[in-house]
Chain A
């Protein structure tokens, strides 16, 4: 009996041990190496993720940007081991978490990792919560699975977590059902749920797309605040370069299942070297106004991932495409800082200088980062003011919900 119990918990114990383990020298918290995830469908092979590589360390935020269908979600889900296989299949590469390969783990071992070491929140908070259970129960579920909390302990902790993400009157709110929460509150609850077990990595898949603009900013801020406290890494997936501008340390721009440009936020914003990144930047509204040019969306549509164009996959839409671009695949151009790009002309300084968008934008890069101080360092008055501000925001949100209810 005892032994059976032990066996049942083994994968959780291993996951906890792995979380505590020091990261081996030369390794990273998360290292994705040339990851390839293909779907074998009736229409052919969908190369949803085709050679994604990056590294991520504690306290870092990686922004993953790209148009719809560029493989951002599939990349994240592959790391989490949430892709159904079949139809999905890993065609190569590896994902190392604290030096250990996630891809070679069994489903059982992955269950120990999910929610405990790596947690994920999803795009649409309206559908991501189970409608028939209370928020409290869903919040506490991870704790019960990974930490062995009793129902009561889990509920008490759920209450704390809910308060922590700025939901007023948490002791009452844990008893609510998802439909009684507004969209913003649900996403806060999702964040609380993801952070319940204090994960190393938080993957946020377009966490603000379904929310209105004011709430978006609050959610992003909340995620940063939590990061300051917990020192977790964040992978922020979005199709809006503007969203990651202020918070990402590193940015990966994806196109048709591939990273076309990867670098630090400063590099991507001040010195982008891939035409697709330029296109994305020109379609950020504020950017366009500063340039005093009309918004210039990228023309055309993303390619089908079954038939990725020959040569450079961006060539059919690239304003600088040459005959060579349509024949040959551009090699990876990499600077010594690790900034890389897949374009024949990325190394051509004159070309980049001439065509890249002028970044007069005093890219926030800095702004947010410099502001980011540990919570404790804030002097008392500021802390109180921030707290009050947050409360009033949350209260407005709460009354908004009430209004929708009544209205």
Chain B
């Protein structure tokens, strides 16, 4: 097991460099001079501009930090491989650059936003796991019953309804139609929320965004669970278990569930990774002050350091989550834990 984790961690290294390379390339491909974007509307004093370029390692400098000039008296742009080196170095020091629009370090902005995304994702994933697995199980166990038909129907609708639209419907229903009943609870005011003074510590506020965020994947989780359980129930080892004299309940609980859960757990785990990357649509609809909304805002404002820094962090988070999922997968499935003979070629 330990070996397996180390092996997986070592696989991080090439992925990390690959991803940062892509990010770095993007930074250099997006149109527009970064210095101009930093300056915003204002025209820059040439000396200030030179300093910014130096600070950001866009031009070569000498040992004293003075810019180097070529024979024509122009500054020399730093070669890209060197810039990449600076970028990686900064990354390892937790420096993701500064936001153009907000003039704050990207790392500071993201660390303020991330907890909201994490908490929303956790609530959503709990809903997804409980409702998805539960509904899928009922559906499979009582196959072709009223409940099965209901689950199949509802999940089909849930898959089809886009998250942002569901979010709006929920807001409309609970926030406006039921305003008097709920006393405004559950309702996240569209304007003003996400601002400095909005309070998100009240758990009521998590319910509607979490349902919105979890909706589609809950439906998928239920469907995967149903089909997996039905498939597992046809396996030979289930017949063996029945032949031993186990009751239907024992067969399902002790023999079918664990096998059926393996792919579902994988799905839900990967979904958690996706949710932790910031649900741009849900966060935008609910003005949720998480990374998804922040990245959305940064894109509209061409605030590239936030976009790139955010995406870099997200990729690391997704990698870690994938590792956790794979390890738990191995925990559920001994064939992976110990390596099946045929895989050890």
Contact = CB atoms under 8 A, between A and B. Distances in A.
Contact of B340 (A122, A142, A146, A179): A179
A111 B237 contact: no
Interface in B235-286: 235-237, 239-247, 250, 254-255, 258-259, 262
Interface stretch (B31-39, B301-309, B328-336): B328-336
Interface residues of A, number: 36
A180 interface: yes
Contact of B334 (A114, A141, A179, A401): A179
A158 to B, nearest CB: 13
A124 B243 contact: no
A406 interface: yes
Interface string B305-344: 0000000000000000000000000001111001011101
A406 B244 CA distance: 34
Nearest to A81: B242
A18 B132 CA distance: 45
Nearest to B235: A127
Nearest to B255: A130
A124 B236 contact: yes
Contact of A130 (B237, B247, B332, B338): B237
Interface string A296-338: 0000000000000000000000000000000000000000000
A145 B243 contact: no
Contact of A177 (B237, B239, B338): B338
B341 A404 contact: yes
A9 interface: no
B338 A193 contact: no
A122 B239 contact: yes
B94 to A, nearest CB: 41
Contact of A114 (B236, B245, B259, B342): B245
A113 interface: yes
A115 B241 CA distance: 9
A131 interface: yes
Contact of B338 (A112, A145, A180): A180
A406 B335 CA distance: 15
A122 B247 CA distance: 19
B333 A141 contact: no
B335 A128 contact: no
Given A131-B334, A132-B333, A180-B338, A122 B244 contact: no
Given A131-B333, A177-B334, A179-B334, A80 B243 contact: yes
A244 interface: no
B341 A179 contact: yes
A119 interface: yes
Contacts of A179: 334-335, 338, 340-341
Contacts of A122: 236, 239-240, 243
A115 B338 contact: no
Interface string A75-99: 0000010100000000000000000
A145 B246 contact: yes
Contacts of A401: 341
Contacts, number: 86
B241 A130 contact: yes
B341 A82 contact: no
Nearest to A76: B243
Given A127-B236, A404-B341, A132 B334 contact: yes
Nearest to A142: B244
Contacts of B333: 131-132
A359 B50 CA distance: 105
Nearest to B232: A130
Contacts of B243: 80, 82, 114-115, 119-120, 122
A300 B217 CA distance: 52
A80 B244 CA distance: 10
A132 B238 CA distance: 12
B245 A127 contact: no
Of B236, B244, B254, most buried by chain A (CB within 10 Å of CB) is: B244
A369 interface: no
B334 A130 contact: no
21 contacts: A111-B246, A112-B245, A115-B244, A115-B245, A119-B244, A122-B239, A127-B237, A131-B237, A131-B259, A132-B332, A142-B244, A142-B245, A145-B244, A145-B245, A145-B250, A177-B335, A180-B338, A180-B341, A401-B341, A404-B342, A405-B344
Interface of A: 80, 82, 108, 111-116, 119-120, 122, 124, 127-134, 138, 141-142, 145-146, 177, 179-180, 190, 193, 401, 404-407
Interface of B: 235-237, 239-247, 250, 254-255, 258-259, 262, 332-335, 338, 340-342, 344-345
Q: What 3 A-B pairs are tightest by C-beta distance, nearest first?
A: A115-B245, A114-B245, A127-B236
Given A124-B236, A128-B240, 5 more contacts: A122-B236, A130-B255, A142-B245, A145-B246, A193-B240
